[in-house]
Amino acid sequence: MKKILAIVLALALVLGFAGCAKNKNTTETTTSAPADTGNALKIVCTIFPQYDFVRAITKGVKGVELKMLLAPGDESHSYSATLEDISAIDSADLFIYVGGESDAWVAEVLKTASPKKAIALVDLVKTLEESDDGILAAEEEEEEEEGAADEHVWTSLNNAIAITESLKDTICELDADNAETYKANAQAYEKQIADIDAQFTAFFAGVKNKTIVIADRNPFRYFCEEYGIKAIAAFSGCSSNNEIPLAVQNELIKAIKDNNLKYVYVIELNSSNYADSIAAQTGAQKLVLNSCHNLSKADFENGKTYVDMMLENYKTLSASMA
Ligand SMILES: [Zn+2]
C-alpha cells in the first residue's frame, strides 16, 4: 500500500492529476472471486486492439482479470491515465500498450509503476516510419518527429495475427496451467483474422483504382500497405488536429473529383461535419472505416470484436470500391 501511495504521489506530479475525476474504464473478470484476491491473472491494456486479442486468447479461462484503460467511446489520442489506471498498471501481471508517440506517457509511468511484464505492440512486429504521403494538412511543428514509427500496427491483419501469437506466448508463460486453452483460442482467432485477410487480398487483386479519400486522420498505413491502397487524407494517423482547414477541404474535394470517386471515408466515432460538407459538395457518399482504436460503449458491451470491425471494413470497401 505504501508503494502504491508513493507511486500515486509521484505520478500526480508528473500527470498533474489529469483526468483523475474520470472513472469509466472497464474491467472484465471471468472469476467469481473478488477482483483483488491476488490470485487472478491481471492483464491491463491501454486501448482496444490488444484488449480484444487478449479477450480472445483467454476466453473461457477462469481467473483472468482483463482491463482496458481507455473508456469505450473515448478518443484514444487524448487519453490520460488516472491514478486508478496507474495503480492497475502497477499491480498487473501483464501490461500491454501500443508504444509510439501517443504512449509517451507510458515511459514516465513505468519509472515508478512496476507490472510483472510490460509489452509494446510496436515491438512485436516490423514497423513502418510515419509518412506524409497522401497527408494534405501540414502538421504542427511539435508533432513532427523525424523517423518515428507509425504506431497503428494492428490495422494490418497479418500484424494482428503476429501480435496475437506473441501475446499468447507471453500469457502461456505467465499461466502455464491454462496454456493448452490459450493456444487453442489463439489459433482459432488467428484463423478468423487470416480468413478476412484472404478476402481482402482476393478483392483488391481485382480493383483497378485503389485510391481512397479520407476526410479525417489516416491510421491505415499498415492496412493500405498490405493491399496496395493509396489513401489521401486530411491528417496523419495520430494527429490531434481535427479541424480541416478550408484549403485542405478543397484539396480533398479535388481528389474525389479527379479520381472520380463516389465515396468519402471517415474514421469510426468521428463527430465532425467536414465529411458531410465534402460529401454534399461532391455528391460522394460518406462511409465509416474502423481503425479499431476504440468502439462505442454499446458495441463494447455487446462484445463487438476486432474481427467484427474488420469484417465491416471489408463489407464497406468491397461494396464501395468494386
Ligand atoms: Zn492513433
- DSSP result, 212-261: EEEEEEE--HHHHHHHT-EEEEEEETT-------HHHHHHHHHHHHHTT-
Residue 79 C-alpha to ligand 1 middle, in angstroms? 11
Residue 11 clears pLDDT 80, i.e. is over it: no
Give the pLDDT confidence score for residue 25 in this predicted structure: 60
Of 137, 195, 114, nearest in space to 161 by CA: 195
Confidence band for 239, pLDDT divided at 50, 70 and 90: confident
Q: Read off the pLDDT of each residue in 82-88 and give the average, rounded to a whole number.
A: 97
Residue 18 clears pLDDT 50, i.e. is over it: no
Give the pLDDT confidence score for residue 262 in this predicted structure: 97
Residue 237 C-alpha to ligand 1 middle, in angstroms? 5
Confidence band for 147, pLDDT divided at 50, 70 and 90: confident
| CATH class (in words) of the domain with range 204-320 | alpha beta
In the three-class reduction of DSSP (H, G, I as helix; E, B as strand; rest coil), residue 175 is classed as coil
Residue 103 C-alpha to ligand 1 middle, in angstroms? 10
What are the CA-CA distances from residue 184 to residues 11, 66, 179, 195 (Å)? 39, 19, 9, 17
| Measured distance CA(270)–CA(35) in Å, rounded | 34
Residue 167 C-alpha to ligand 1 middle, in angstroms? 20
- Percentage above 70 pLDDT, the chain: 86
pTM for the model stands at 0.89
| Measured distance CA(20)–CA(18) in Å, rounded | 5
Average of per-residue pLDDT values in the chain: 89
Give the pLDDT confidence score for residue 144 in this predicted structure: 53
pLDDT, tens only, 110-127: 999 999 999 999 999 999
Residue spans per domain, the chain:
2-193, 204-320
Contact 308, 295 (CB under 8 A): no
Residue 177 C-alpha to ligand 1 middle, in angstroms? 35
| CATH class (in words) of the domain with range 2-193 | alpha beta
Residue 179 C-alpha to ligand 1 middle, in angstroms? 32
* Residue 263 Cα to chain centre, angstroms: 24
Give the pLDDT confidence score for residue 33 in this predicted structure: 40
Same fold, 2-193 and 204-320: yes
Residue 317 C-alpha to ligand 1 middle, in angstroms? 21
Residue 218 C-alpha to ligand 1 middle, in angstroms? 9
pLDDT, tens only, 169-200: 999 999 999 999 999 999 999 999 999 999 99
